[in-house]
Structure 1
Amino acid sequence: MLETEIHRKSRSIAATAAALLDPELVKTIRRRDDETTPAYAKLQGELRKVRNLNRRKDTWIRNIFILMPARQDPRIVEYAVDAEENFEYSHHPGDIYRRDGQPVSIGLEGIEKLAERLHDYQAGYRSSFASIRDESGALIAMVGVTTAATPYSTISHLAPSTLIPLTITIALAIGFSSSLLRAVARPLNSLRQLIDAVGRGDFDAVTAATAPMTGEFARVADSVKAMAAGLRERDTVKRAFSGYISRQVLDAIIAKGELPVLKGERRRVTVLFADIRGFTAMAETMRPEEVVQLLDEFFDSMVEVILRYQGTIDKFLGDGMMVIFGAPLDDPDQEEHAVAAACEMQRELRALCTKWQAEGRAALKMGVGINSGPAIVGNIGTTEHMEYTAIGDTVNLAARLESATKELGVEIVISEHTYSAVRPLFRWKSAGEITLRGRSEPVRAYTVEV
């Protein structure tokens, strides 16, 4: 789980940076002379902002950079922009990207697969990448992020020198007097309670624990407390930023260096709900690692599509997600963007399923429901827990329409409110008036050809 969290955080940082960068500016950086241009300075500044915002106790960015294919050979990957200030360690436009002294010659398309081999939890780092695409959807560059996770590496270094002697001590204690057994069992039980508290997410109980421990027990307990403190800070940051995924909100955060005040307001939005069909039953037949890998690939692909169509990911719902179009900034084409995103999400899922089936893995199906209308949008909640979201009947109807995809046997169901705004732009089929759970009146709905 710890390694998975490091991987998620690293990949999230890379995706955030990629969303912020202007692809047209990236295209202008090809030679070392370009380091003196305003475009290079702007790109480097944005990379440094992302790096500095994410240098926290639980995740420390070692480096963040942009890679592009070499002009002479697109299989060779070279640096375009590097955020490193230290001249001794920085790279320049045109410098070849190397691993173990050898040029990386698998092209941009192979970088993500390579990233799975560019981690070392004993050394405490992981490298992750996110793609940068132009308006046509062409892959032009990648953002690379190398992160170090010090609390995790501390525990990893302690384990061989602590847990093995501890096990031997417990075995020998069986033959000793009952008083010695109690002396060993008492701190061990306290340590177990600390670890159980971490598993429950009760980080306050861990950091406040004062059970007497000495020697190796005390050192392991201190490391567990340090890890809990880092996890607690990570969760705090995660809650604060969980709703700010769209490029518009991220721009506001980075420009101010703090969370913007986004008060609840009534505005017209288009809401999209997406959910994997039958995933719970399928997950019961899979190992947890396989489930995580499948969801990671699924969400990576879906999020990239959503951000490309100016959507804001409101929240992930287990094996699904809620997306808002038209907030926090107005989008006059929000209905078109939502429907186009839904169609492309289905096409991306088909491509993923083809890949998974070739690898002997399960294929997935996804239902999508879309509705447009007024909603209350903004920071909603209490002082203890607040998130950026949308609430109202518009949201509820979108969720019900997603559920209706199962009964109708279709991939996408759209309300009449959305349909009327984009009728000439897509190929439609009327689903007639359908009865939805929790609604007293039938609702006219439509399906769209992907």
Structure 2
Amino acid sequence: MESPGRYRYWPANTLYAASQDWFSPYLSRPVRELLDAGPQAQWLLRSPRNADVCILFTDIRGFTDLSRAIRSDTLFRTVDACIGRQIRIIEHYDGYVDNFTGDGLMAIFEGPQMADNACRCALEVVTRALPAVRYGETALAPIGAGLHRGDVAMGTLGCESRRTYTAIGDTVNWAARLTGFARGQDVVISERLRGALTAEIAERFAPVQTDQGRADIDAVVPVYRSRRS
């Protein structure tokens, strides 16, 4: 059976798919696809490729205060539930998780519909992914998200004892910076990404004025924030 992934190879065998399903969730989607290539897998994993992608970062606002206010086991269950909801939404919009960043994550979207898919996903994540958890008299702080589109290098980083398949580059760095600029339940996107959106989705984002406290991002670069419904 031909691989359904973007690499489109014929699997050398079905050993991995048939016997290692329990292990699959520990691997990103590109790695799972490439492993089924059999003897070619090692070469494919170590061969960097350039790609035009959308990068999404999310995190929970006020997480440091939350971690001081509730028990560690409750904190872990809360973050686990939040991350799980985000993953399901991301996969629904044809994205995949590249890595986890403590109380948040980094996800990648590829393909012709990636701009709209990434923005629809982010808008849903910040409004629906947070579990209904309270500590004391304060509700759990909401999620913020940042999105950017551009070129990345995708491939394997590490050494013989530990490796990971990931994306790196300025696009990733900018997406992370935009996330830091997002308030709770905000999605902040770059001008380049907004220019690739259909009109329906683009209308859901308003320009951020340069006089609104943009201390942590280059003020000459236009960015857009999701409109509150």
CA distance in 2, matches of 1:388, 1:412: 26
Provide Cα deviations, 1:409-430, integer angstroms capped at 9, x if missing partner.
6611000011000050322211
Q: Which residue of 2 aligns with 1:396?
A: 173
- Map 1:174-193 → 2, pairs under 5 A: none
- Map 1:408-423 → 2, pairs under 5 A: 411-423=186-198
- Asked if 1:373 corresponds to 2:142, the answer is no
In structure 2, do the counterparts of structure 1 residues 430 and 410 end up closer, same or farther at CA, with 3 Å as the change threshold? farther
Q: Is the 8 A contact 2:146 2:187 kept in 1?
A: yes
Q: Which residue of 1 aligns with 2:50?
A: 266
Q: Which residue of 2 aligns with 1:117?
A: none
Give secondary structure in 2 for the equivalent of 1:293. Answer: helix
CA distance in 2, matches of 1:437, 1:52: 48
TM-score by length of 2: 0.78
Task: Tell me which amino acid in the other structure corresponds to 1:336.
Answer: D
Task: Tell me which amino acid in the other structure corresponds to 1:375.
Answer: V
Give the one of 111, 118, 123 matched to 1:343.
123
- Asked if 1:305 corresponds to 2:72, the answer is no
- Deviation at 1:378? 1.6
Identity of aligned residues (%): 27
In structure 2, do the counterparts of structure 1 residues 280 and 372 end up closer, same or farther at CA, with 3 Å as the change threshold? same
Q: Is the 8 A contact 2:116 2:198 kept in 1?
A: no
- Asked if 1:448 corresponds to 2:226, the answer is yes
Give secondary structure in 1 for the equivalent of 2:106. Answer: strand
Give the one of 273, 276, 285 matched to 2:60.
276
Provide Cα deviations, 1:78-113, integer angstroms capped at 9, x if missing partner.
xxxxxxxxxxxxxxxxxxxxxxxxxxxxxxxxxxxx
TM-score by length of 1: 0.42
Matched positions, count? 209
Q: Is the 8 A contact 1:377 1:391 kept in 2?
A: yes
Q: Which residue of 2 aligns with 1:437?
A: 216
Give secondary structure in 2 for the equivalent of 1:364. Answer: coil
- For the pair shown, the structure with the greater C-alpha radius of gyration is 1
CA distance in 2, matches of 1:413, 1:338: 12
Give the one of 20, 38, 47 matched to 1:53.
20
Q: Which residue of 1 aligns with 2:205?
A: 428
CA distance in 2, matches of 1:307, 1:400: 23
RMSD: 3.1
In structure 2, do the counterparts of structure 1 residues 384 and 336 end up closer, same or farther at CA, with 3 Å as the change threshold? same
- Deviation at 1:402? 0.6
CA distance in 1, matches of 2:113, 2:150: 13
- Deviation at 1:277? 0.5
Q: Which residue of 2 aligns with 1:209?
A: none
Provide Cα deviations, 1:348-381, integer angstroms capped at 9, x if missing partner.
235x33xx35xx9942311100000111112123
Asked which structure has the greater RCO (Cα within 8 Å, sep 6+), the reply is: 2
Q: Which residue of 2 aligns with 1:155?
A: none
Would you tell me which structure has more helix in proportion to its own residues? Answer: 1
Q: Is the 8 A contact 1:430 1:447 kept in 2?
A: yes
CA distance in 2, matches of 1:49, 1:395: 31
- Unmatched segments (≥5 aa) in structure 1: 1-19, 22-45, 55-60, 62-236
CA distance in 2, matches of 1:288, 1:51: 36
CA distance in 2, matches of 1:304, 1:366: 16
